[in-house]
Structure formats: C-alpha cells, structure tokens
Structure 1
Amino acid sequence: MRRYARPVWLVLQQFLLLVATLAAGLAVGGLLGVLFGHERLWAPILGSVLFLPVFTIPSIVWSCREGPDEAGEPRWMVPLVGCLFAIVVPLLVGLPTLYEERFGKVVVGAVTEDRDRNYVPGTDQWIRAREAATDEDLGLLRVTVDRDLRVGDEVRVRTDPHDWFRSSDPDTRNPVLRRTLFWIGLTGVAGLVVLTSLRAVRDIRGWSEATRQPSRPLPTSRDEQRARDTGERRDAPDVEDVAELLDLGGDSGGSGGDFHGGGD
C-alpha cells in the first residue's frame, strides 16, 4: 500500500494546485472585469495599471511547488500564460454584461445629447440620456435602433442599482461574442488541466526513476573493522618500500665483503 501512496499524493497535489490556480484566475478576471466595467474613469485606469501584476498571481500559485530550476522553464510558463490569458480575458469582457442581465434594472430615459450626427439606421449610435422618472443622468450610452434618435426621444436603458457598472442598451445582444468568449474560456481551462496532468506525469516518472536506483547498504560492524584494518595498513610501510630497502642493504653488505677480502 505504501508503494502507491507517493504517486497518489503527487496526483492529489497537482489537483489541488489546479483548483487553486483556477480560483485565482477567476478572482483576477472578476476583479479586472469590475474595474474595466466601472462607469468612473479612474477604475479602468487602475485596471490597466494592475493588469500585469495581478495577472501573475495565478502563475505564481501554479508554480509554487516547482524547484528553482523548473519554475521559469519556457516549456511550462509559455503554455501556462496562454491558458491563463484565455481564462481571464473572457471574464474581463463578459462579466459586466452578465452582471447587468442578472441584477440590472430597465428604466425609461430621455435623450439629452446626440453624439452621432450622421447616423446610419441599423448601426450603433452614441447618445447621452437622463432617467425620466428621477431626472438622473444615465451617462453615455451606445444603443442599436432602427431610427435616428434625437434629443427628447424616449429610450429604454438598463442601469445598475448599485451605480457601479455603466448603463447599457437592454435590446443589444451579441450571441456570437458570447459564444466566442465561452469557448475561449473553456479552452483555457482544458489547456490548464492538460498542462497540470503532464506535470503530474513528470513528477511520478521522476519518483519512479529515483526508486529504481539501488541504495548503498549501511555499513556493518565487519565492514567498519575492515575499513579500520585497511586504514592501519595504509599507515604502515609499504611492502615494496621494505623490499627495496632490503635490497639496498644486501648490496652494501656484499660490497663490504669484497673490499675486506681484497685486503687479505
């Protein structure tokens, strides 16, 4: 059972990192969508400044368990950034529309300014409107109608009760854009799942290769005694050195004998 515990933990670890990365990506996309959809000018500017720093948060979460040599490898980071980009951008673009369709309120407004003097029926027209009941300014709107709106004409406007998102035209629908954003986001999630699965396979393969390598046995008392004996022999004079000294001594003795005999 212990043999399979380590691979299961490696897969579970990658799954938890995948969930955390998706949660971080959704949070980042939601935050940027709220900032870019705000009706005040400072919010989109702040979103532009924070886009890159905030966008790196999911990649940091995904790479938090990587080693220093593998954390910044292009083979992992390039597809990771592509997947995160495909997840965050649809949220950034589509979140304001989803929010307004769910929580928005449709009111009747009156046109106070016509920005498009040369309007062509069937195209978008920029106007400024004011709510008829409360005389509240609804801001600048882009509407799609089959006639040229003039100052004083009535128009239907979807507003945010919390005054966070910009007002919009409730009759404007773009199903092609919605489907495109959906498939882009789904592709990003699928790519992130595949990338995380490949990393789990890499970790399991590395663990398997490490377990196949034979480990050095612990030294026994006999091995330790042998190592001590070997060390003592190394400290003692070498056999060849002793033999050489003996040969030198023999030659010296023989020479002395010959010299003595010559004297007789």
Structure 2
Amino acid sequence: MKHYPWGALFKGIWRTLLALAVTTGFVIGTGILAGGPSFTWLAVGSALSLVAAVPGYLLYRLGAPDHTVGNRVVMLLVLTLASWLAALLVLPAYMSREGTPTDAVVTQVVRGLSSVSEERFPAYRVADASTGKDLGRLRFLDSEPKPGDQVRVRVDPRGWFNVTVVDPTGRFIKLTALVVGVLGLVALFLGVGGHIPD
C-alpha cells in the first residue's frame, strides 16, 4: 500500500512560503526605488523588480525533485511577472494610506524620460499651493494641466516616495492587485506540487 508523501507535502509548503516571503521582501525594496522622485528611479526599480524573484526561486528550487524542470521554468516566470507587477503596487498602496492630501500648483511641464517625447509621457512639476515648496514631479495624470493650474495631490510625510495624485488606487491598480494575487496562488500550487514525487 502506497502512503501519501506527507513529508514532501509539508516540505513543499514551507519552502514555497519561504520563497514567496523572500520575493515579497525584494519586491517591497524595488517598489520603494520605483516610487522615488524621478523617472530614473522608476526605471531602475522596475528593472530590478524583474529579478526580485530570483532569490526566492532559488530557495524553492533547492529542495525540488529533478523531474520538475518544466515546473521550475513556469514557477520562475510566474514569480518574475508577479514581482514586477507587485513592485508597481507599493507606491499607490502606501500613498493611499499614508500620503497627506495637499493642494498643489503646476509650475512646469517637463519630459518624463529623455528618450521619449514629451507629448507621450509628460511629467508635471508641482509646488505646494500655500507655501510654494517644490513637491517634485507628478506622473501619470488623466488630464493635461498647464503651468498655473491647481491639482490635488498626496505627499509622503516621510519623504520616501514621489508625490502622487490624490487617489492613487484606481481601476488599473485594483486589476493589477487581483492579477498579482492570482499569480501568488499559482506560485503556491506550483511550488507545493513541485515537491511531490511521482
């Protein structure tokens, strides 16, 4: 009579949870970089988030049987995509909870990325409407305000993140969070299943 491999199951569970925890830690770090005060930080954080899954993946792979090569490839792809998307959620999730709503005035329209035309990716330098203090660049607006126009923003009181729109969690962010959650569940099932012998 063949017994169920409970030992392999529990090993798969704790190794996969550890891999997801390590990946989450790297995702938070790269998300903080991506939320920095310039498009350079956004590009750097986004690029680093693509490899944020590697340490967690290596932990998962350490104890997986050799017969799960295809499983490993899918696992790496799932973790990598989830890491990149999750890193983009760190800024809006933090700012929606901790950011201080502030009235601001657009002082300048600047080019977001030097390699991209201003018409496609404009960024708006804004200042506090009451004090005149420069708040940084505002990215990804639905409208196209001109210098002198007033906008409502959120400012990070700790100074970690760039200024954002007043409601940073929109429909796109909720959809991204749903996709990340589904990918996390897929990674969990792949990770646990990858440790079960044939």
| 1:190 Cα offset (Å) | 2.2
Q: Distance in 1 between matches of 2:191 and 2:109?
A: 52
For CA contacts below 8 A with separation 6 or more, give which structure has more relative contact order.
2
Residue in 2 aligned with 1:215? Answer: none
Query: Using a 3 Å threshold, how does the CA distance of structure 1 residues 48 and 188 change in structure 2: closer, same or farther?
Result: closer
Aligned runs of 1:29-178 on 2, under 5 Å?
29-40=27-38, 43-44=41-42, 46-47=44-45, 50-51=48-49, 54-66=52-64, 70=66, 74-115=69-110, 126-142=123-139, 143-145=141-143, 149-171=145-167, 174-175=170-171, 177-178=172-173
Residue in 2 aligned with 1:121? Answer: none
Gaps of 5+ in 2: 112-120
Residue in 1 aligned with 2:184? Answer: 189
SS in 2 for 1:111: strand
User: TM-score by structure 2 length?
Assistant: 0.78
Of structures 1 and 2, the larger Rg is shown by 1
The structure richer in helix per residue is 1
Identity %: 20
Query: Using a 3 Å threshold, how does the CA distance of structure 1 residues 115 and 45 change in structure 2: closer, same or farther?
Result: closer
Aligned runs of 1:14-33 on 2, under 5 Å?
14-33=12-31
Aligned runs of 1:197-236 on 2, under 5 Å?
197-202=192-197, 205=198
Equivalent pairs, count = 189
Moved over 6 A (4+): none
Query: Using a 3 Å threshold, how does the CA distance of structure 1 residues 127 and 61 change in structure 2: closer, same or farther?
Result: same
The structure richer in strand per residue is 2
Gaps of 5+ in 1: 117-123, 206-264
SS in 1 for 2:157: coil
Residue in 2 aligned with 1:211? Answer: none
